Amino acid sequence: MEAQLRHPDWRNDRAGTLVARIRRIIGWDDFIALVDRALGRTRQRELEAELALAHREIERLRGRLADVTRPPVQFARMRVREAAVDRLARLRRARRSSAAREETWARR
């Protein structure tokens, strides 16, 4: 009877015997349902991981789309801000270098 229940690839290994015993104890239909449920859970975890990855990609693309589709006025404001920040940074550097020069001249 056990030889009939076992798959040909499972002939001489313990896993095959265990599978045959489980099938004999719980029945073929229940065994199929059990395997299907186990594989279903594994597949569900894989799908959830893929879905999470897709959601992250969607959020990243939404951010890029928001950057690209800004109105021209907003781009102009950003350019003005960037120019102001750049000017302030240059001014600070100039002040530091002039202060350093003055210290150098004062030491001489």
pLDDT of residue 52: 95
pLDDT for 10:
47
State which residues form the domain around 104.
71-108
What is the predicted pLDDT for the residue at 54? 96
User: What is the number of structural domains in the chain?
Assistant: 2
Please tell me whether residues 65 and 75 are part of one structural domain: no
40 plus 79 within the same structural domain = no
Rounded to an integer, what distance in angstroms lies between the CA atom of residue 39 and that of residue 46? 11
**Predicted pLDDT at 59:** 95
Sequential pLDDT tens for the chain (108 residues) = 444 455 555 455 555 677 777 777 777 777 777 777 888 888 889 999 999 999 999 999 999 998 888 787 877 888 899 999 999 999 999 888 887 777 777 776
Which residue, chain included where needed, has tokens 């056990």? Answer: 2
Q: State how far the Cα of 79 lies from the Cα of 87, in Å rounded to an integer.
A: 12
